[in-house]
Amino acid sequence: MEFPNHHRQIVEDLMAGKFILPTERTFEVLNENEEFYTQFFKASFNYDLKFSQDYIYMVSDESNEMLSRDICIFIALLSYELDRDGKNFLERIQYSEFEVEEIENYFTNSSYIDLILSTKQLKDAENRRNFINTLNRRNIIEKVGDNRFVFTSAHKFFMSFAADIVKFENVSE
Amino acid sequence: MKAEPRTILRFLLEYFDIITDLYDTQSQEGVITFEVLNQITEKHGFDIKIQLLEYKILSNVKENFEIRTVYYDLIEFILSEFKPMLPETIEKYHVSIAELFRKIREHIHGDKVILNQRINELSNEIRSFYEMVEKNTISLLNETRELKANVKKVDYREKIIRASRWIDEYIIPLNKILDINHSASIANKLYDVSEFSNKYRLNFDDENTRVNFEKLYFQLIQVNDNLLHQSKILTNELLPLIERIRTESIILTGWITYLKNPYKQKSPRILKRKEITVYSPSTFFNAAELFEQFKNDEVIYFEEEENEAEKWIFDKEHYTQKLKENLPVDNFFKWCNNTLKEDYKKVEIEKFFALTSLAFDADLQLEYTAKPEYEKIKINDLTLTVPKIKINQHGIS
């Protein structure tokens, strides 16, 4: 049986919980073989493959709630602090590099300090550094040096989640 | 009007600060109350209420006042502080332009005076229409930029509402008015007027009318260019900017709601990683080996193999006695072999060698020829070549 190009890479990345990005060659292969891969992961692992123009990712019935929540808290706090600092947070997150030191400044001086301290992966500088590595492994950010990183287009997954909160709130109202 | 025009203009210049304050009040409140009028004039130290009424800058509305439209528009224009107008207001030009154009077309060979009058009025309507569009674009841009900078610290939810309102109620309808490809748009109507005037500016029997059509035609070229420019501002600058404000505000409002209690909110579903190396063929064995080494660490024990040869202990005393009983023995090695065969079904070489060690007993008297005689003894599969040794007696007997 013949498999599409980069099949092994695709399976390994998706099984590792990575977001596949348009900049990767596997993104195109996945799009070209959407039906095959959707069925492949469903039949093999009962996982659902989700496609969008900015990322492709996989979800299972059992979600990594804790990591997902911590990522949301991280991006939410960063967005809030950037806005409070007079920055266009969407533009900054989408187009600019961040220094770990800058993140540290925002987190240590945040008015949400209680929430930060109660979130295990974000509570101190060392944990935050590890957390940034986790984001890197999941392709949510891309490290461009030891202390610098950029957000990938996968950040839009979390931004659209935030937008949905307002939409659903309005619907329920 | 009693006053001289220059006097009024000088008055406007001299008391411009008071007039600006009155303009602001009317813009915000709709009217200027008597109390507010007093407060403003007192603040600046000039009681000019009488002149304001005399020069017809203010007019009475019941017990309140308002700035007359002509002055209001003038100040608005000077300050470039236009309020966005609903496109419905602009849409009225569609009716007036279309109506004038219809009459010009239908009565093109009618009364020249009326025709020229209609051409001039059409020109005025087009000018007014364009000015209104321009004012609206400027005002929307100003409002949007102000909202973006958020100088007034507008709440995020209010930002969403305002941005949505401007997009849905102002920009999109205004864009429709300016869309030349839309058959019902004013821009499309102006295109028809332009083609018509182009035809008659070159081919009409009355020169005066030709000149008027020519003026109208060139006015329309300019207006079309300007409308295109306004349309570009709306679609390329204003719409993305305002859309971005709306998106940003929605997302930030969502995050703030989320941060209120992230533990009560559902988070987006992401894959829970399982440590499976899908492709390694030795995954199972590697894992089994890994787990077994911990599993067996406590329970495993080594059982020593049973060694029959070691278990067999040579009973020297017994065999020495047996040898004594069999004395004299002509062939010692043969005797060893036969003795063992009697005791055991199978003779192991170890037993044989153990028994031959009796030959070293100092009490035995060995006898062998000077020239050794050899013979072969077969022990299982092994054939040994051994010397012939004779034992006559044990000890001094």
- Count of CB atoms situated within 10 Å of the CB of B166: 22
Put simply, whether A116 touches B (Cβ < 8 Å) is no
**DSSP state, residue B329:** B
Looking at CA atoms only, how far is residue A4 from chain B in angstroms?
Answer: 16
Terminal CA-to-CA distance of chain A, rounded, Å?
53
Put simply, whether A1 touches B (Cβ < 8 Å) is no
**Distance between CA atoms of B320 and A126, rounded to whole angstroms?**
84
pLDDT at residue B397, rounded to an integer: 46
A64 to B276: CB separation less than 8 angstroms, yes or no: no
**Residue from A152, A7, A170, A8 nearest A71 by CA:** A152
What is the share, in percent, of chain B residues with pLDDT greater than 90?
A: 18
Strands (E), B36-149: 58-61, 64-67
Alpha-carbon dihedral of residues B178, B180, B183, B188, nearest 10 degrees?
90
Looking at CA atoms only, how far is residue B153 from chain A in angstroms?
Answer: 11
- Whether the Cβ atoms of residue A98 and residue A133 lie closer than 8 Å to each other: no
User: Average pLDDT for residues A98-110, to the nearest whole number?
Assistant: 93
Searching chain B, which residue's CA lies closest to the CA of residue A62?
Answer: B272
Instruction: Read off the pLDDT of residues B63-80 as tens digits, 9 standing for 90 and up.
Output: 889 999 899 888 888 887
Searching chain A, which residue's CA lies closest to the CA of residue B150?
Answer: A86
pLDDT exceeds 90 at position B172: no
- Count of CB atoms situated within 10 Å of the CB of A5: 13
Put simply, whether B66 touches A (Cβ < 8 Å) is no
pLDDT exceeds 80 at position B295: no
**Could you give all domains of chain A from N- to C-terminal order, each with its CATH number?**
7-59 (no CATH), 65-172 (1.10.10)
Amino acid identity of residue A27, one-letter, is F
Classify burial at B36, counting beta carbons within 10 Å of its beta carbon; exposed 0-12, middle 13-18, buried 19 or more. Answer: middle
Put simply, whether B280 touches A (Cβ < 8 Å) is no
B252 to A161: CB separation less than 8 angstroms, yes or no: no
Give helix A100-108 / helix A65-84 axis angle, nearest 10°: 90
Nearest CB to A162 within list B258, B276, B278? B258
| Maximum mean pLDDT: which of A123-132, B152-161, B181-190, B317-326 | A123-132
Amino acid identity of residue B245, one-letter, is I
Classify burial at B293, counting beta carbons within 10 Å of its beta carbon; exposed 0-12, middle 13-18, buried 19 or more. Answer: exposed
Nearest CB to B271 within list A64, A69, A79? A64
In chain B, which residues have their Cβ closer than 8 Å to the Cβ of A76? Answer: 255-256, 258-259, 262
For residues B154 and B355, which has the higher predicted lDDT (pLDDT)?
A: B355
Instruction: Read off the pLDDT of residues B157-168 as tens digits, 9 standing for 90 and up.
Output: 787 888 888 888
- Cα angle vertex B275, ends B273, B276, to 5°? 110
pLDDT at residue A173, rounded to an integer: 44
A166 to B255: CB separation less than 8 angstroms, yes or no: no
- Residue B104 — very low, low, confident or very high, per pLDDT cuts 50/70/90? very high
The yes/no answer to whether this complex scores an ipTM above 0.85 is yes
**Distance between CA atoms of A164 and A158, rounded to whole angstroms?**
10
Strand partners, A49: A58
Domain boundaries along the sequence of chain B: 1-81, 84-269, 315-394
Nearest CB to B273 within list A16, A72, A158? A16
pLDDT at residue B247, rounded to an integer: 85
In chain B, which residues have their Cβ closer than 8 Å to the Cβ of A47? Answer: 271
pLDDT at residue B88, rounded to an integer: 82
Put simply, whether A47 touches B (Cβ < 8 Å) is yes
Put simply, whether B259 touches A (Cβ < 8 Å) is yes
Put simply, whether A75 touches B (Cβ < 8 Å) is yes
pLDDT exceeds 90 at position A18: yes
B271 to A63: CB separation less than 8 angstroms, yes or no: yes
Classify burial at A102, counting beta carbons within 10 Å of its beta carbon; exposed 0-12, middle 13-18, buried 19 or more. Answer: middle
pLDDT at residue B115, rounded to an integer: 93
